[in-house]
Each structure stands twice: as structure tokens, then as C-alpha cells.
């Protein structure tokens, strides 16, 4: 899989700081069925919900460092690596400690990130589905109303991306609800949460990229990718105009044909105003408040049962699973449908705008 930001996102001014999945060299040790040790990194479902300054947590997984982390899910000394035939060096161990992925105490090493085995992954996903099934009837009427309001605003072709990337994967991530990566544990060069489930779910990888106020929904099958530098330039102009018509002709020309603006700089994608208390904002707040309150209540004990470092990190991990179950429910009920461009169909780059939108936080405006 090419390196990409996946799953959830944290949007900071004209910056991408979010979730990344990066492949590392495959393990060379023998893998036993359903065992963590020896299982190649690419077979795990690895998620980083984080903000980082110099190094993303996945950048510490050089050489066979993933094998080392898998070996120390159960604590041990370097003799354990020797017995497993896992090569290592002191510099590798130190690098993992610097990245706060590994800890040591009197020569005993313990992996700091959560790497869930097959049975625990199955249990967690059973729990998340049960949770999603129980909470959905409470939020379904408001989601239906939200979809209706999107249609009234002229955003029908953006419904899928607005429900997933805005409601489920953006609005909920603030300090009033489930928090942002910046306000999670500090790990030196990064803050947030980084973890691995034993295997991926069956559906496509879906995620959200944030470029300041400009958000883009994506899947692994997406065939149309506008250059990030051009999106960042567009985002800078959006910040200047607070979502109004942009006037920088050079930027207009650079993004021409991608469905973001017309030739005069008029914005063609949804412009949503967070914290302005209109109908859409009130519905998003109400839905995400209900979700976050229920997640917090559930995770007060759940995080300790799964050896997760804190309630907040537990909330982040559990909601990421719940989010996919909610998406499955919404699709199965026909309330939303993935647009053709996200399925990888050759519909033309002008439909790139169908999976993008702008969020202006009115609480930050002067």
C-alpha cells in the first residue's frame, strides 16, 4: 500500500497531521497461525491518530523493528530476541525507546503501543458492533434530518463525504467530545495514539485528509489525487476569504478542472460553518455529543480490560472501531452510498470536488 494518511484526521492550519499507515520490511521469522510474533506489519490494521512535529511514530519502524515490538508485547530481555532468532542492535532498541514505542526497566523490555492479537481483535470488534447497534437508534432520526438538510443546502452529491469525513471523522474530535491528538499523551516527537489490530476489516480503507479548513475524503481505490501543494495553496486562499470567492488567479488556474472553484474563483464545494448554531451545526453537535458521551461511559472500564494506557486513548481506539460499524449501518440502510470516484471508477477529475468540503470555525473568527 502506498504511504497515505488513513482513518481519522486532525485539522490544523494548512497542515496534515493525522493518521498514517506505512509499510515496513516483511518479517523474516517463521509465523505461527494467529500469532503476533512473525506476522508481517502489512497484515495488521495499524492506525496512528496523531499530531507530529519531526517524526511520525511509523518512521521508527525501520529495518525489522516491527518484529522487535511484536516480540515484546509480552515483556522480556534481549535473550528473548535471541531465542526467537530476531536480529537486533542496541541502536534499534534505543530508537524504539526514543519513539516511545518501547520501554525498558532493568533490562526488561515492554512494547508501549497496543498490538492486539487475533482473539482480542475479534472481541473488540464484537463489542464495537454491539455498541453501534445499540446507539444507532438514538441518533438515526437526527442523521436523517442532517442528510435532508445537506440536500436542502445543495450538497446531495457530497452526502457520503459529509457524513463520514465531517460528522463521524471530524466534528467529534475536539475537547468537548473525544479530544484531538494535540491534547493526548506526549511521546516526544508525536502526540496521540498509535495501535495495531490483528487484521483489517473487509471494507475499503477510508479516510480524511485535512489541509487547514479544506477537508478531503479518500479511499485506497481513489484514482484522482490533486497535488498536496496545490491543495495547501487553495486552503491558504480559503483562510483569507473565510470561505468566500478566492481572487488569486494563479491558484484558480492551478486547481482548474478539479471541481473546487469555477474560473472566477467561486467556491463549488460545501462551506460548512462550525459553531454558528445553524441547523446543520446543531444537528452535528447533538449527534456527536450523544456518541461521545456514550463512548466515554463505555470506555471508563473498557480501557483497563484491554491494557490501554488511559481512558482518553481507549476512547480514541474504541470509537475508531465504532465508526466503521456506524458506517456499515448507514450504508446497509441505504442512507448514504459511496460515490463512484471513491470506488475507483474513472469519472473524471472534476468529481474530485464531490469528496471535498470546507469547514470554517466561527468560534475562531474575530
User: CA-CA distance, 213 to 12, in Å (whole number)?
Assistant: 8
**pLDDT at 205 (0 to 100):** 86
Q: For the residues of 316-357, what is the DSSP string, one character each?
A: HHHHHHHHHHHHHHHHHTTS----GGGGT----GGGGGGGEE
Angle (deg, nearest 10), helices 279-305 and 311-332: 120
pLDDT for 170 beyond 70: yes
**pLDDT at 176 (0 to 100):** 85
**At 112, is the secondary structure helix, strand, or coil?**
coil
pLDDT for 18 beyond 70: no
β 356-361/271-274 pair status? parallel
Per-residue pLDDT reduced to its tens digit, 280-336: 999 999 999 999 999 999 999 999 999 999 999 999 999 999 999 999 999 999 999
pLDDT for 21 beyond 90: no
pLDDT for 11 beyond 90: no
Per-residue pLDDT reduced to its tens digit, 46-89: 999 888 878 999 999 999 999 999 999 999 999 999 999 999 99
64 φψ region: left (φ > 0), alpha (ψ -120 to 50), beta (else): alpha
Per-residue pLDDT reduced to its tens digit, 25-36: 444 555 676 899
**The C-alpha cell that represents 237 in the structure block:** 486562499
**pLDDT at 3 (0 to 100):** 31
* Cell 501543494 -> residue: 229
* Cell 467530545 -> residue: 177
Is-contact 47 21, C-beta < 8 A? yes
Is-contact 269 165, C-beta < 8 A? no
**The C-alpha cell that represents 217 in the structure block:** 475524503
β 190-197/114-115 pair status? parallel
pLDDT for 262 beyond 50: yes
pLDDT for 9 beyond 90: no
Q: Which one, of 141, 158, 149, 131, lies nearest residue 268 by Cα? A: 158
Mean local confidence (pLDDT), 202-211? 89
**What's the mean per-residue pLDDT of the chain?**
90
- 182 versus 12: which is more confidently predicted? 182
- 16 versus 279: which is more confidently predicted? 279
**The C-alpha cell that represents 296 in the structure block:** 466515554
Q: Which one, of 194, 184, 96, lies nearest residue 104 by Cα? A: 96
Mean local confidence (pLDDT), 10-19? 33
User: CA-CA distance, 237 to 198, in Å (whole number)?
Assistant: 42
pLDDT for 263 beyond 50: yes
Q: Express as a percent the part of the chain with pLDDT over 90.
A: 82
Burial of 226 (0-12, 13-18, 19+ CB in 10 A): buried
Confidence label for 366 from pLDDT (cuts 50, 70 and 90): low
**pLDDT at 17 (0 to 100):** 34
Q: Can you give the pTM of this predicted structure?
A: 0.88
Q: Which one, of 63, 91, 88, lies nearest residue 78 by Cα? A: 88
**pLDDT at 157 (0 to 100):** 96
Amino acid at each position: 500500500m502506498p504511504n497515505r494518511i488513513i482513518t481519522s484526521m486532525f485539522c490544523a492550519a494548512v497542515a496534515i497531521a493525522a493518521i498514517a499507515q506505512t509499510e515496513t520490511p516483511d518479517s523474516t521469522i517463521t509465523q505461527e497461525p494467529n500469532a503476533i510474533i512473525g506476522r508481517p506489519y502489512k497484515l495488521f490494521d495499524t492506525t496512528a491518530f496523531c499530531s507530529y512535529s519531526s517524526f511520525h511514530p511509523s518512521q521508527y519502524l525501520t529495518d525489522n523493528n516491527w518484529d522487535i515490538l511484536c516480540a515484546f508485547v509480552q515483556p522480556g530481555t534481549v535473550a528473548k530476541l535471541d531465542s526467537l532468532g530476531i536480529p537486533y542492535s542496541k541502536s534499534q532498541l534505543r530508537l524504539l525507546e526514543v519513539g516511545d514505542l518501547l520501554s525498558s526497566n532493568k533490562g526488561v523490555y515492554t512494547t508501549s503501543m497496543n498490538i492486539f492479537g487475533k482473539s482480542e481483535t475479534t472481541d473488540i470488534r464484537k463489542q464495537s458492533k454491539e455498541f453501534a447497534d445499540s446507539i444507532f437508534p438514538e441518533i438515526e432520526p437526527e442523521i436523517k434530518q442532517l442528510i435532508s438538510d445537506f440536500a436542502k443546502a445543495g450538497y446531495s452529491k457530497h452526502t457520503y463525504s459529509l457524513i463520514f469525513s465531517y460528522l463521524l471523522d471530524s466534528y467529534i474530535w475536539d475537547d468537548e467530545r473525544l479530544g484531538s491528538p494535540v491534547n493526548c499523551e506526549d511521546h516526544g516527537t508525536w502526540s496521540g495514539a498509535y495501535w495495531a489490530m490483528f487484521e483489517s476489516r473487509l471494507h475499503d480503507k477510508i479516510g480524511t485528509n485535512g489541509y487547514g479548513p479544506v477537508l478531503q475524503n479518500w479511499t485506497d481505490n481513489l484514482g484522482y489525487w490533486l497535488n498536496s501543494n496545490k491543495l495547501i495553496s487553495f486552503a491558504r486562499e480559503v483562510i483569507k476569504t473565510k470561505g468566500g470567492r478566492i481572487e488569486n488567479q494563479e491558484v484558480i488556474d492551478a486547481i482548474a478542472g478539479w471541481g473546487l472553484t469555477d474560473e472566477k474563483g467561486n467556491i463549488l464545494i460545501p462551506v460548512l460553518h462550525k459553531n454558528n448554531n445553524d441547523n446543520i451545526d446543531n444537528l452535528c453537535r447533538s449527534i456527536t455529543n450523544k456518541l461521545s458521551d456514550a463512548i466515554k461511559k463505555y470506555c471508563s472500564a473498557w480501557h483497563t480490560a484491554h491494557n490501554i494506557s488511559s481512558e482518553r486513548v481507549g476512547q480514541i481506539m474504541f470509537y475508531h472501531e465504532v465508526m466503521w460499524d456506524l458506517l456499515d449501518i448507514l450504508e446497509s440502510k441505504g442512507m448514504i452510498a459511496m460515490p463512484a470516484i471513491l470506488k475507483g471508477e474513472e469519472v473524471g477529475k472534476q468529481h474530485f470536488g464531490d469528496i471535498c468540503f470546507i469547514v470554517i470555525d466561527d468560534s475562531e473568527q474575530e
